[in-house]
Amino acid sequence: MRISIENFTKSFGDTTVIEDMSLEIGDGEMLALLGPSGCGKSTTLFAICGIHRMNAGRLMFGDADVTEVSSQKRNVGVVFQNYALYPHMNVYENIAFPLKVRKESKAEVDRKVQEIAGLVHIGELLQRRPMQLSGGQQQRVALARALIRKPDILLLDEPLANLDAKLRLEMRSEIRRIQLATGITAVLVTHDQVEAMSMCDRIALMDKGQIVQLSTPKDMYESPSSDFVAGFLGNPPIAFLDGTVADGGFRLANSQVTLPVPSGIEVPGEGAPMRFGVRPEFFQPGNPLKVPGKVSFVETQGREELYDVTLENGAVLRSIQSQNAGFKLGQEVSWGIEQDRVLAFGPDGNRL
């Protein structure tokens, strides 16, 4: 089912948390709401499921206006951050709860619970209490409970935040598998960019109650609309160089080094501040556009090694290289930037 949020505004008392936000989510799509803590992701989610009322704006599910419809009638399944399983009910009762409040027949409930339990692989845990489950199992139960009554929309609020690294990896693909299998429209709230990129069709990146960019993960990574987006996506993160426009090129701050500007961008006037963003994979020994510096930090990440190189003006560039390159801390190096992959940002932070 298509979701469209139109001019959504939400405030708590005097503080406005979300202002005039619009967002369209296609049928069967999985969309990530990504952003730093406190940017209003959960608030948006709560507005979609109806726990919060919108102060202004409209919410459409398909062609129906649900702005004033209560949570109970929206038919939205939600997986909460801490799962919100009911501690006094066993797994079976937890999953069956949405059907129970609809007064469905016992046989029907039983059939559906067994079916959904099979889908999320918890068939043998049905008699346990939530307390007796591991984090991943609780996660699956929460998912089953959200899905059991075939909701039109599935909302997930940081579903993987409480899991350890390995489980997180497993559940990532598991949730995506289930979403694809059911063909449900899903919104995933997360502040983990890897999660957003690996699981979702599109990402809506939020900051301070605004959507700053809405696009596919690949698009967002390769052509971020602002330095905020560029900095948010990518691990290890992008490195920024500050400077000004000089002679149609980019002059590093406090330095005489001037770099050429990537082709096809509109360079602002002479002397205007400008920012270069260089992703670690595009700062390599083999590239032609050399920048001299000193290795100031080395981190071994198993298959790869991560280097920080401090330039003469104090700015830092990051580089990720396959292991056995063997550079030492303090070593003077001169590595190159891949010119056409450099991201240039204007004085307001927007991509040039």
Partner 1 sequence: MRRAHLLGLGFLSPALAIILMLFLIPVLLTVMFSFTNMSTATGISGGAYEINAASLRKLADAGAQESFVETLGKESFVVDDAGITAAAAAYGEQFANEVGSQMLGERFSSRRDLERAFRKLKSRPRSTRDIKKAADLFKRSVLNIRFETAGGLVDAVTDNGIEMTPDQQELLTKTIYTGWTWTSDNFALMAQIPYVWRVAGNTVLYVVLTLAASVGMGLFLAITTFYLPSSAASSFRAIWFLPRILPNVIFVLMWKWLAWDTGFLSSLLANFGVPPRNWMLDTGVNAWVFIVLINGIVGASLGMILFGSAIKSIPQSMLHASEVDGASRWQQIRYIILPQLRWPIMFICAYSTLSLLTSFEYILLSTDGGPGGATEVWSLMAFHTALDNYAGNLQYGLGAAMALMLVIVGILASLVYLRIFNFNDLVAKPRIEQ
Partner 2 sequence: MTSSNFRSWPLFLVLAVISMPLVIMYVYLFVDTVTDTTAGSLIPDRFTLHHWRFLWEEPETGRVSIWTVTLNTFIFATCTTLINVSASVTAGYALSRLNMPFKRFFLGGILTLHAFPTITLIISIFLILQMIGLYNTLIGVILVKAALELPLGIWIMKGFFDNVPWEIEMAGLQDGASRFTVWWKLVLPQVQPGVAALSVFVFLSAWSEFILPQVLAPSGSAQVLSTYLSNLIFDDMKPDFNMFKSVGVFYALPVIVIYLIFNKQLMNIYGGGTKG
Ligand X SMILES: Nc1ncnc2c1ncn2[C@@H]1O[C@H](COP(=O)(O)OP(=O)(O)OP(=O)(O)O)[C@@H](O)[C@H]1O
Binding site for partner 2 (CB under 8 A): 50-53, 70-72
End-to-end CA distance of the chain: 36
We find the least distance from the C-beta atom of residue 79 to Mg ion, in angstroms, to be 13
Pairing of strands 30-34, 202-207: parallel
Contacts of 65 (CB under 8 A, 6+ apart): 58, 59
Binding mask 29-48 for partner 1 (x = CB under 8 A): -----------------x--
- The whole-angstrom separation of Cα 314 and Cα 69 is 56
Q: Which does 41 bind (CB under 5 to 8 A by kind): partner 1, ligand X, partner 2, none?
A: ligand X
We find the least distance from the C-beta atom of residue 189 to Mg ion, in angstroms, to be 6
76 vs 343, which CB is nearer to partner 1?
A: 76
Q: Tokens for 283?
A: 């700062």
- Span near partner 1 by CB under 8 A; candidates 80-88, 194-202, 253-261, 291-299: 80-88
By CB atoms closer than 10 A (0-12, 13-18, 19+), residue 331 is middle
Residues 143-202 that bind ligand X (CB under 6 A): 191
Q: Tokens for 331?
A: 């070593």
- The whole-angstrom separation of Cα 259 and Cα 340 is 12
- The whole-angstrom separation of Cα 19 and Cα 125 is 44
Contacts of 180 (CB under 8 A, 6+ apart): none
Residues 97-156 that bind partner 1 (CB under 8 A): 97-98, 100-102, 145, 149
53 vs 106, which CB is nearer to partner 2?
A: 53
Is residue 42 involved in binding Mg ion (CB under 5 A)?
Answer: yes
- The whole-angstrom separation of Cα 190 and Cα 161 is 8
We find the least distance from the C-beta atom of residue 70 to partner 2, in angstroms, to be 5
Is residue 319 involved in binding ligand X (CB under 6 A)?
Answer: no
- The whole-angstrom separation of Cα 339 and Cα 288 is 9
SS3 content of the chain, % helix, strand, coil (to 5): 30, 35, 35
Q: How far apart, in Å, are the Cα atoms of 11 and each of 8, 56, 236, 244?
A: 10, 10, 35, 39
We find the least distance from the C-beta atom of residue 156 to Mg ion, in angstroms, to be 11
- Span near ligand X by CB under 6 A; candidates 11-19, 104-112, 197-205, 273-281: 11-19
Is residue 78 involved in binding partner 1 (CB under 8 A)?
Answer: yes
- Span near partner 1 by CB under 8 A; candidates 73-81, 198-206, 246-254, 340-348: 73-81
Interface with partner 1 (CB under 8 A), residue from 86, 108, 121, 297: 86
Q: Which does 77 bind (CB under 5 to 8 A by kind): partner 1, ligand X, Mg ion, none?
A: partner 1
- The whole-angstrom separation of Cα 240 and Cα 197 is 22
Residues 232-271 that bind partner 1 (CB under 8 A): none
User: Helix or strand or coil: residue 176?
Assistant: helix
* Residues near partner 1, by CB under 8 A: 46, 49-51, 70-74, 76-78, 80-82, 84-89, 97-98, 100-102, 145, 149
* Residues near ligand X, by CB under 6 A: 12, 15, 17, 35, 37-43, 191
* Residues near Mg ion, by CB under 5 A: 42
